[in-house]
Amino acid sequence: MKVPLSKPDIGEREIELVVSVLKSGQLSLGPRLAEFEQKFAEYVDTRFAVAISSGTSALHLCVKALGIGPGDEVLTTSFSFVASANCVLYEGARPVFVDIDPATLNIDPAKINAIIARDYAWDGKHLTNRRSGRVLKAILPVHVFGLPCDMEPILQTADAFNLSVIEDACEALGAIYHGQLAGTFGDAGVFGFYPNKQMTTAEGGMIVTNDARIASVCRSLRNQGRDASAGWLRHVELGYNCRLSELHSALGLAQLEKLEALLASRDRVAQWYARGLTGVPNLDLPTVCPGRKRSWFVYVVRLSGPSAPRDREILIEDLAARGIACQTYFPAIHQQPYFRKLLSVSAASLPHSECASETCLALPFFPSMTEEQVEEVCIAVRGSLAQRGTSREPFLTGSRLPQRAGSTREREQSIAFR
């Protein structure tokens, strides 16, 4: 691909710090890990930061640390990366999907309240699902595409019903909700450092919390269930190995040093996109919300109009033909093959999540992207959409399903196997 979907920004400083770890001889559980955690905690302004080998494992440890297990449920969103639901399944609990607000693409707080009122009984201590008999333990909001969720009503609901809050802020490092960084509102927040994120450690993640118990439980769980005071071969509980190595931590430190510049570059690229794509018919650009500053993670546009899913397929082909990468983002989690077997979610209950998953498209987006590259993508997008309804349409191939024909599943597969 001439224009890739994403690209990490690795400079001399990253190389220098990683090489210095290699030369030091201490490759794990050393000074870089401690320094990375301390500087990260300072940046987000929480008491504790616990570095983990991936964002997914970080979410898992939070679920476990909060005592969520078999017989429990967690309210979350289906319009996300699978990790935010998988972390609940790992512990034998069940994610219950709440539909999104179609404007923000984040979990809809009003629908959280509606589902609690409809499906759960409150005994003054616990919310019990009237049908499943399981207990609701937590809300797990995801700050999708770097836009903070509407945290105030979510925290109010959590407060009213003794629910924990785990924020999946893996896409939202640097995002601000009413003056406070996303990821720092709940009992715990999680960041991810995969190479396409705002900053990277190659693989890695971070748990942030102000709760000393959560921090120490997560530290123990990531390190084979050891406790801090006792020896190397004393294991006080069933733990895991999800430590972040010194090499990864050094990479994280170098990225953290230049995080503000990385975020500013992303802002600039997003502004070029907005300029190049504003006013294109049937193309919705990322929402701006008062009181919320998005941290640009990806640039996701949304096709609208009656033939949006098919228009998206045409757009994907047109971009590919010009060497421009793109990604249908996200496919709804409840429609993933393994989830269909696991849970029966009636199609009607998540209409906005399903619609978003059929119409959203991530365009190339990375901090070193040039104005010319953005312009090239914008020209391709405008060109593709301008052709709709004209002589271009009849050259549709047989793989393109007519509008609204077939089940959602068939339409998805036609996208997946193209």
Ligand X SMILES: *Cc1c(COP(=O)(O)O)cnc(C)c1O
Q: Which residue minimizes CB distance to ligand X?
A: 55
For ligand X, the closer of residues 107 and 314 by Cβ is 107
Helix, strand or coil, per DSSP, at residue 210: coil
Q: Please enumerate in sequence order all residues whose Cβ is within 8 A of that of 28, keeping only pairs 6 or more positions apart, or say none.
A: 243, 245, 246
Is residue 252 within the footprint of ligand X (CB under 6 A)?
no
- DSSP codes of every residue in 265-306: HHHHHHHHHHHHHTT-TTEEPPP--TTEEPPPS-EEEEE-ST
For ligand X, the closer of residues 86 and 129 by Cβ is 86
Is residue 86 within the footprint of ligand X (CB under 6 A)?
no
Q: For residue 104, what are the CA distances in angstroms to 214, 223, 290, 354, 416?
A: 30, 37, 12, 14, 25
For ligand X, the closer of residues 142 and 269 by Cβ is 142
Q: Please enumerate in sequence order all residues whose Cβ is within 8 A of that of 10, keeping only pairs 6 or more positions apart, or say none.
A: none
Q: For residue 365, what are the CA distances in angstroms to 197, 266, 285, 408, 410?
A: 11, 8, 14, 28, 29
Is residue 6 within the footprint of ligand X (CB under 6 A)?
no
Kind of pairing between the strands at 164-168 and 120-122: unpaired
Is residue 56 within the footprint of ligand X (CB under 6 A)?
yes
How many positions of this chain bind ligand X (CB under 6 A)?
14
Is the preceding peptide bond at 330 cis, omega within 30 degrees of 0? Answer: yes
Is residue 84 within the footprint of ligand X (CB under 6 A)?
yes
Strands across the sheet containing 176-177:
180-181, 176-177, 292-293
Options 5-13, 50-58, 304-312, 410-418: segment touching ligand X (CB under 6 A): 50-58
The position carrying tokens 């609690």 is 116
Is residue 55 within the footprint of ligand X (CB under 6 A)?
yes
Q: 243, 215, 245: which is closest to 62 by C-alpha? A: 215
Rounded to the nearest whole angstrom, what is the least distance from the CB of residue 168 to ligand X in the complex? 5
Kindly tell me which residue out of 80, 106, 184, 223 binds ligand X, with binding defined by CB under 6 A: 80
Kindly tell me which residue out of 95, 109, 192, 364 binds ligand X, with binding defined by CB under 6 A: 192
For ligand X, the closer of residues 69 and 195 by Cβ is 195
**How buried is 159 (Cβ within 10 angstroms: 0-12 exposed, 13-18 middle, 19+ buried)?**
exposed
For ligand X, the closer of residues 134 and 197 by Cβ is 197
Is residue 200 within the footprint of ligand X (CB under 6 A)?
no
Touching ligand X, residues 204-223 (CB under 6 A): 205
Q: How far apart are CA 205 and CA 249, in angstroms?
A: 10
Give residue 40's region: left, alpha or beta (phi > 0; psi -120 to 50). alpha
Touching ligand X, residues 158-187 (CB under 6 A): 168, 170-171
Rounded to the nearest whole angstrom, what is the least distance from the CB of residue 82 to ligand X in the complex? 8
Q: How far apart are CA 14 and CA 262, in angstroms?
A: 14
Options 37-45, 53-61, 122-130, 312-320: segment touching ligand X (CB under 6 A): 53-61
Kindly tell me which residue out of 40, 81, 120, 299 binds ligand X, with binding defined by CB under 6 A: 81
Options 27-35, 37-45, 52-60, 180-188: segment touching ligand X (CB under 6 A): 52-60
For ligand X, the closer of residues 48 and 330 by Cβ is 330
Kindly tell me which residue out of 61, 68, 83, 253 binds ligand X, with binding defined by CB under 6 A: 83
Binding site for ligand X (CB under 6 A): 54-56, 80-81, 83-84, 142, 168, 170-171, 192, 194, 205
